[in-house]
Structure 1
Amino acid sequence: MTTPDERLGQVTELPEGVRLQFRRSWPDPIEDVWAALTEPDRMARWIGTYEGERRVGGSGTFTMTHEETPVGEPMRIVECDEPRRLVVDWETEEGWRVQLDLSREGEETVLVFTQVFAAGTEVTDYVLGWHWYLDRFDAEVDGRPAPGSWDDFLAATGPAYGRAAG
């Protein structure tokens, strides 16, 4: 299982932009982790809803329902290799691409979450946000209660990213 220090996102400056990457792991089978990542009822518990075509090239509306003000945004499925890889383009003003890669390493299923932002982007808020959502995902995979409120999370985790609590 992922240790507390390993839960932190890694930010790397690249020529093409700023890469954010998280690595999480569980003893669960890869198929179960994939199901938590993609099945509508399970997605709703940790991140939100997707209404649209569920196929490569398919598009729809994704709503992060745990935000203060949930807003549906266009999303397109770029790659899907069940149960190993999902790549989506989030058609925001910034043009986000999120890659989710699953693999088996020994007795664990490993998730590598990757997002590359434009060069010069201040990513601290994004890192904190994805950390919170991945903690929610971790709870969904493990079948335990989701993390507390955003404010509680920020107070506990923000200092690890140089963000003062409160």
Structure 2
Amino acid sequence: MGDPQAETNRQFGDSATPGEVRFVRRLPGPIERVWAYLTETEKRRQWFVGGPMELRVGGRADLLFRHSLLSPDEEPPEECREVHDPGVPMTVRVTRCEAPHLLGITWPGESPEQESEVVFELFPQDEDVRLVLTHRGLPNDVERANVSSGWHIHTALLHARLAHNTPLPLWSARDLLAAKYQKRLGVS
């Protein structure tokens, strides 16, 4: 039998529901450690974004996407230079918070009406943790393909950090996964 973490973590996000993408990942536990990587600034910065987060429903999180911290030796595509360095700030609200099992945050869209929600659910699974990440309320398939490739990469980075492995190169993985998700969703 193969490695259950690897088998689960290489699966594409499920995009069967319109406006939604869902990822299931198997991560090294315990659950409190994975929760810390979702909620603590320094740990979250290692796989996704930095910034303080008020861990209560209605709390504010001032996030900073600065991908040069995730892939310092890789040159980003021209359209991603700003998110690579100096970084792009984003303010979100906490919509759900039940430590150490459930965290939800808003996700800004092109307009306030296009705000979506990201929910992280954690479940013990033997010595591992099952992460179910659902991003719902996406306005179209172009946006679903875009966030799908992003979440695929960032959950792979999270797994690498938790497993003490070398993370994949962010920008080359982004290009490959973006093309695959566009094809899966029929986006040209």
Contact 1:42–1:140 (Cα < 8 Å) also in 2: no
The amino acid of 2:11's aligned partner reads: R
Aligned match of 1:103: 123
Q: Which moved more, 1:106-115 or 1:89-98?
A: 89-98
Specify every segment of 5 or more residues in structure 2 that has no aligned partner in the other structure, as ranges: 68-79
Higher strand share: 1
Q: Go from structure 1 to structure 2 and tell me whether the alpha carbon gap of 1:49 and 1:22 turns closer, same or farther (over 3 Å shift).
A: same
Q: Deviations for 1:117-156, whole angstroms, at most 9, x for unmatched residues?
A: 3454322122111111111111121122221131x21455
Higher helix share: 2
Q: Go from structure 1 to structure 2 and tell me whether the alpha carbon gap of 1:68 and 1:51 turns closer, same or farther (over 3 Å shift).
A: farther
Specify every segment of 5 or more residues in structure 1 that has no aligned partner in the other structure, as ranges: none
Distance 1:117 1:53 in 2: 23
Q: Go from structure 1 to structure 2 and tell me whether the alpha carbon gap of 1:35 and 1:160 turns closer, same or farther (over 3 Å shift).
A: same
The amino acid of 1:18's aligned partner reads: G
Give runs of aligned pairs for residues 72-87 of structure 1, distance below 5 A. 72-87=89-104
Aligned match of 1:134: 155
Normalising by structure 1, we get a TM-score of 0.83
Aligned match of 1:41: 42
User: Aligned residue pairs: how many?
Assistant: 159
Q: Go from structure 1 to structure 2 and tell me whether the alpha carbon gap of 1:42 and 1:154 turns closer, same or farther (over 3 Å shift).
A: same
Aligned match of 1:149: 170
Normalising by structure 2, we get a TM-score of 0.74
Aligned match of 1:53: 54
Aligned match of 1:20: 21
Identity of aligned residues (%): 25
CA RMSD of aligned residues (A): 2.3
